[in-house]
A and B are shown apart, each in its own frame.
Chain A
Amino acid sequence: DGGITQSPKYLFRKEGQNVTLSCEQNLNHDAMYWYRQDPGQGLRLIYYSQIVNDFQKGDIAEGYSVSREKKESFPLTVTSAQKNPTAFYLCASSRGLADEQFFGPGTRLTVL
């Protein structure tokens, strides 16, 4: 099956700890994205990557970091510098920038 996966589905962390969210795709897409979604809100772009070893900040990159060492993988680290990390995190990929984006199932992060 081709698709995009995120793990884990639910994640709980203590305040002050860094946490890494996984995103993998086997669609052979060049572009990948991370969004944050808060209740009753739209999606806000955290980071995106057009190609391997390249990534750009989105609207709300502060407190987050990413890497793109492989085409299939785009992990997101939520650092202790992120003031309000509890949210639903969505990863997406597309063939190229501005192409149709396919979303993963999301990871719900709760910081206690």
Chain B
Amino acid sequence: GESVGLHLPTLSVQEGDNSIINCAYSNSASDYFIWYKQESGKGPQFIIDIRSNMDKRQGQRVTVLLNKTVKHLSLQIAATQPGDSAVYFCAETLRGAGSYQLTFGKGTKLSVIP
């Protein structure tokens, strides 16, 4: 079935460097995408979202890029800090009449090296 997946299960970056976390989605009908951050033992925390009518959206130190042609989503974190260490999930919504589902990928673990 349709699914959301991630290219890299783990990512280690030096403090101060930029991080890029990638995600592939397979359902071309998906029109809303979200990135979540989950620290160990806690619930996911919303980072940033993007709708399919946009290619790029920026937040504080984070940027999400959407390439609908290749069904690819990425999260860029600028000047990565130790507090950014967590598992990052992308998620997509599969919209349809009378139904709703937010499908999550398995997650990428980001480790920041001090």
Contacts and interface: CB of A to CB of B under 8 A. Distances in A.
Interface in B32-66: 32, 34, 36, 41-46, 49
Given A48-B100, A98-B95, A101-B102, A43 B44 contact: yes
For the side of the interface on B, what is the size category?
Answer: 20 to 34
A42 B101 contact: no
Nearest to A108: B41
Nearest to B94: A98
Given A42-B106, A98-B95, A104 B43 contact: yes
B104 A100 contact: no
A101 B46 contact: yes
Interface in B97-114: 99-102, 104-107
Interface residues of A, number: 25
B89 interface: yes
B93 interface: yes
Interface in A54-112: 56, 58-59, 90, 92, 97-98, 100-106, 108
Interface in B69-89: 89
A4 to B, nearest CB: 8
B102 A103 contact: no
A45 B100 CA distance: 11
B102 A45 contact: yes
Nearest to B1: A59
19 contacts: A33-B102, A40-B107, A41-B106, A42-B104, A42-B107, A44-B104, A45-B102, A56-B99, A90-B44, A92-B43, A98-B93, A98-B102, A100-B46, A101-B46, A101-B102, A103-B36, A103-B43, A106-B43, A108-B41
